[in-house]
A = this chain, B = another copy of it.
């Protein structure tokens, strides 16, 4: 009926106003972060000696806070460390969950720096009414398998569950305490929309997500140094956590973390639909079979194609709303091939069923290979990654 929807971007919900997706310029204005510029990509390529990742070139990572300051430090020959994480809410992760990890892996390799990955099993426990401690902890370890299967370097990567690490590192708890002391209920209410009926675990949790931004939370890696800069790749909905973290940093004598933000990964049904772990048709899981992948894409992927073949040939497909095209832009690494598909589909030369077929041919092997690597993630491998220990890293090459 011509009703106008407003986009919703909160910690719990991301829904676009229509299937052309979230208005990211609006979000940047709203959050007060900055656009990633072509000059940043050039500088990253120069400093790392490697081509920029396709997720950078295609604007999936599109915004930042204080990226320049961090690259300045690196250019002066000092290392930083990477921090990212995940709230373990389901047995298997889905395609969208891979994006920050694929990108973080590139950053780790390109900059040759250590990486810490937080699994917020405690947060999920606080948020979900019927979730038990043991179960959220188990899910953290299931998700670790998917994360490790992304191919991180075991000599440079520390993965931890909050439930384990808080209970085994007094320095980490001390940082959590320091951060908690700097944040009032009023602040978490205005930042996250928490209310008076929320439990006190949820209310105090933001300090636990903030703590890994400070290097002395990891004495096994950095000793008692608290001035190693932290660089955080994440989806832009996590920005409120790190705005708070950046406010707190100078008050506890630590540098503010720098951030780089990605867009959201849309649901199969299009950007207007909320992706939901409880509705398996809204996304492709890393545990899906080749047949499930094929069926999901053919049946559910929102198409920018036209109603009839004749119309499609004449007008072409609308890549702004077409999910197969958008998923390809996340996962098809070959720039030339993606450009060809874009032209063919937009011109009407390529039909809706054909672009879906292209996507299926990219996703099926990607998921199958992921499953192969995941099989090799034994209990020993998990123990290796999740044991607090010294990490090896080169940092900036001395020129």
The 6 closest A-B pairs by CB, nearest first: A167-B170, A180-B201, A204-B204, A167-B173, A200-B204, A185-B196
List of B residues within 8 angstroms of A198 by Cβ: 184-185
**A166/B167 in contact, CB under 8 A:** yes
| Count of chain copies | 2
Bound Cα distance A242, B329 (Å): 57
Bound Cα distance A170, B134 (Å): 12
- The contact string, 1 if C-beta is below 8 Å from chain B, for chain A 201-229, is 10110110000000000000000000000
Say whether A46 faces chain B, with CB atoms less than 8 Å apart: no
Bound Cα distance A252, B203 (Å): 20
Bound Cα distance A133, B182 (Å): 13
A43: min CB distance to chain B, Å:
38
**B166/A173 in contact, CB under 8 A:** yes
Say whether A292 faces chain B, with CB atoms less than 8 Å apart: no
Chain A interface helix/strand/loop/mixed: helix
A119: min CB distance to chain B, Å:
14
Other than the given A166-B167, A167-B167, A188-B200, 7 more pairs (CB < 8 A) read A125-B177, A163-B170, A166-B166, A168-B170, A177-B201, A185-B194, A185-B200
List of B residues within 8 angstroms of A133 by Cβ: 174, 177-178
List of B residues within 8 angstroms of A180 by Cβ: 126, 199-201, 204
A185 contacts which of B167, B168, B185 (Cβ < 8 Å)?
B185
Say whether A73 faces chain B, with CB atoms less than 8 Å apart: no
**B203/A185 in contact, CB under 8 A:** yes
**B174/A199 in contact, CB under 8 A:** no
**A177/B163 in contact, CB under 8 A:** yes
Say whether A164 faces chain B, with CB atoms less than 8 Å apart: yes
